[in-house]
Amino acid sequence: MIKGVVTILWKDLLVEWRSRERLGPMVVFVFLIILVFNFSFALGGSALHEIGAGVLWSAFVFAGLIGLNHTFAAELDNNCLDALMLAPVSHSSLYLAKMLGNLLFLLVVELLSLPFFSLFFNLSPGLYLVPLVAVLTLGAACLASVGTLFAAMSSNSRLREFLLPLLVLPMIYPALIWAVKATAIVFEHSRPSATGALATAAFWPGSLTEPVSFLLVYSIVFTTLALMLFDQVLED
Amino acid sequence: MVAALYAVFLYVPTERQMGLVQRIFYFHVSSAICSLVAFSLVFVASIQYLRRREERWDRLAVASAELGVIFALIVLITGPLWARPIWGVFWRWEPRLTFMLITFLMYVAYLMVRAYAAGSVEQTRRFAAVLGIVAFVNVPLVHFSVNLWSADQQLHPQKVELAPEMVVARYVSLVAVGSLFLFLLKRRMELELASQTLNRIRQKLDDERGDDGP
Amino acid sequence: MTTGTVHLEQATKRYGALAAVNSVDLEIEAGALLLMAGSNGAGKSTLLRLLAGLIRPTQGRVLVNGQPPHSSLESRAEIGLLSHKTLLYDTLTARENLLFYGRLYGLENRRETAEAALANVGMSARADTPVGTLSRGMKQRLALARATLHRPGLLLLDEPFEGLDRRASQALSQRLTDLRARGETTVVVVTHRVDEVVDLVDRVAVLERGRLCCDSAWRGGGLEELQALCDSHQEGV
């Protein structure tokens, strides 16, 4: 089964490498959103560092939706989905491959956008880069687990671009709350305090544990749920 | 049942602390309860539909979802109407309102999937059932997150002291709204059954007419 | 791979009130080539998809080599499907497509198998071109290579000649002849282009409105006879 997952995932990465129709738009989109938010809030005079985490995750979610839309696009083109269903790979393998693909793309976009973000919002993770990456990965996992399932459901609808966000956004609301909070904690800890010294030299801010655990639980719960239900979505 | 509704209006005037508006409380709370009951019905019906593939479970799911959404909408409308005079604001991002709003949106999405998914009727039902399950799993997660999150914004009183008459009124209204809910549920399911039967007859007629065609 | 035997027992597929395939009983012995005919909308594609295991029967049984085609990973490996859609990834090259499917089917020596398959359909020269840039005829030949890569016991062809010109059709026909000569594969063909398969047919089945109204062996004969047999059931008696 792992072999099936790896095979399909590798194929997806290869297809994306050739066509570049997902990663490119996603990165551009994130960049634009960060810029737009930056203008609106900077002009308004709000403290950018307070809303930074929220802006970041809003950008990720919307870019993520673009990527999610394309999850099954290559499969629908020439009825390749039929071929995947005919092949001796379980449907769970297909789900996992697609979910991991989405996770990877999202993670790449997130990491690529961090420099832009730091530049425009004057926020940087500093010492806490590793915890931040952990938060980004888990947040992406939450989005990918739910989004892949719904992408499969909305792919053949004529209203796919409308249906997918409508399904995904309410569903990831809890994960979004925690991801924003976790990110805000990281940025808060890495800001020099009034005396100019860093708040703490600890590797992992204690208050980060709660949101991160939640994100972990969320992604596990929904991945498991999606694995159980994916058969129902594919079969006819 | 209708009589019970009127009883709420007539009986209640015995207490009036926050004014006339306070009466909304009875419907507001009862609607919220009914709405959540409806969504749990969607969950159960969705699971059963996927296991048994019997149409009556699907009918229960769609009827419950619609009613759940309607009652949630009532909660979301009566809430601000009540809040404005009492708290001074129509809306605040506090736990219960946010929870109700997100839940409402999820099930609106459920209804949209049923309306807009392409593909066969059977496939739409399957997708809806999957969504019915996933959405309900999300409900406690939303509840938990939102509570931990905006607890500082809590506007809803956590515990309420009710005069005895109010307690009675509260339960009466719960029964009244609950009966309304069950009544509408039954009707909606019958309506769905009738609609499906009609479609079947239409299709059969189309088939037969095709026989004599060129 | 064991050569596929097909057994359909009262196979029915309903979509709502409509029975796309209705109570079909059919037996196909190993190595035979069955031509499935019938007017548009008669249910031929649905029946093919039932045989492939892509959809499940509402009632009745569909068995390939004694098992439902979707029941296990092994039983899925018995089936090959060629339809008028290529089931190939346009952005990948011919070779990459075949290697992907080879890996998916767990083939040993997939590189050699892929190369042999490419040579077999005359695509070796174009192995490194993205599939999207190939002509329709070449795509279809490649699709056949894909469908037969894992040596399925049962090969299903759904309008394989659609959109092909004379030369390409003949090339595809030739491949089918070779395949059949080896005798390792049971073939079910749905096509209107009876002229392309007239020399290969062992059995003919005609579907009308989901029901099987004709199922007979074909002992050879001219094109007109075959055509007449297929058409005779289309006037709706």
Domain limits, chain C: 6-78+152-235, 89-136+144-151
- Maximum pairwise Cα distance, chain C: 54
Instruction: Sort residue A123 into left (φ over 0), alpha (ψ -120 to 50) or beta.
Output: beta
Residue of A164, A167, A180 to mutate for B, most B C-beta atoms under 10 A: A167
Task: Please say whether the beta carbons of A147 and A64 come within 8 A.
Answer: yes
C76 and A86: CB-CB below 8 Å? yes
A80 and C87: CB-CB below 8 Å? yes
Residue A165, number of CB atoms within 10 A of its CB: 19
The residues, any chain, with a CB within 8 Å of residue A98's CB and separated by 6 or more, are A8, A12, A71, A72, A148, A151, A152
Chain B, nearest residue to A151 by Cα = B127
**Residue keyed to tokens 């992604």:** A219
User: Which residues on A lie below 8 Å from C146 (Cβ)?
Assistant: 83
C203 phi, psi to nearest 5 deg: -135, 155
The top-level CATH class assigned to C6-78+152-235 is alpha beta
What local confidence, expressed as pLDDT, does residue B47 receive? 94
pTM, full prediction: 0.86
Q: Is C66 an interface residue toward B (CB < 8 Å)?
A: no
Q: Is C198 an interface residue toward A (CB < 8 Å)?
A: no
A174 and B145: CB-CB below 8 Å? yes
Higher pLDDT pick, C221 / C20: C20
C17 and B120: CB-CB below 8 Å? no
User: By C-alpha distance, which of C221, C65, A235 is closest to B130?
Assistant: A235
Q: Is C221 an interface residue toward A (CB < 8 Å)?
A: no
Which 9-38 residues of chain C touch chain B by CB within 8 A? 15-18
User: By C-alpha distance, which of B38, B47, B36 is closest to B134?
Assistant: B47
- Interhelix angle A48-69/A173-190, rounded to 10 degrees, is 140
Q: Is the pLDDT of residue B14 over 50?
A: no
CA distance B18 to B174: 20
**For range C220-228, the mean pLDDT:** 66
C16 and B204: CB-CB below 8 Å? no
B129 and A157: CB-CB below 8 Å? no
What local confidence, expressed as pLDDT, does residue B45 receive? 93
Q: Is A170 an interface residue toward B (CB < 8 Å)?
A: yes
pLDDT in tens, chain A (236 residues): 788 899 999 999 998 888 888 888 899 999 898 888 887 776 655 566 678 888 889 999 999 998 998 888 888 888 888 888 888 888 899 999 999 999 999 999 999 988 888 887 777 777 778 888 889 999 999 999 999 999 998 887 777 778 899 999 999 999 998 999 888 888 877 766 543 444 454 567 777 788 888 999 999 999 999 999 998 888 76
Chain B, nearest residue to A150 by Cα = B131
What local confidence, expressed as pLDDT, does residue B131 receive? 93
Q: How many alpha carbons fall within 13 Å on the CB side of residue B163?
A: 8
User: By C-alpha distance, which of B35, B77, B69 is closest to B174?
Assistant: B35
A181 and B149: CB-CB below 8 Å? yes
Helix (H, G, I), strand (E, B) or coil at B182: helix
B203 and C16: CB-CB below 8 Å? yes
Q: Is the pLDDT of residue B156 over 80?
A: no
CA A42 to chain centre: 26
C187 phi, psi to nearest 5 deg: -125, 135
Instruction: Sort residue C129 into left (φ over 0), alpha (ψ -120 to 50) or beta.
Output: beta
Query: Any idea what DSSP says for residue B18?
Result: S
User: Which residues on C lie below 8 Å from B200 (Cβ)?
Assistant: 16-17
Average pLDDT, chain B: 78
- State pLDDT tens for residues A130-142: 888 889 999 999 9
- Between B102, B133, B146, which is nearest A170 by CB? B102
Give a three-class secondary structure readout of chain C: CCCCCEEEEEEEEEECCEEEEEEEEEEECCCCEEEEECCCCCCHHHHHHHHHCCCCCCEEEEEECCECCCCCHHHHCCEEEECCCCCCCCCCEHHHHHHHHHHHCCCCCHHHHHHHHHHHCCCHHHCCCEHHHCCHHHHHHHHHHHHHCCCCCEEEEECCCCCCCHHHHHHHHHHHHHHHHHCCCEEEEECCCHHHHCCCCCEEEEEECCEEEEEEECCCCCHHHHHHHHHHHHHCC
**Residue keyed to tokens 């060129």:** B214
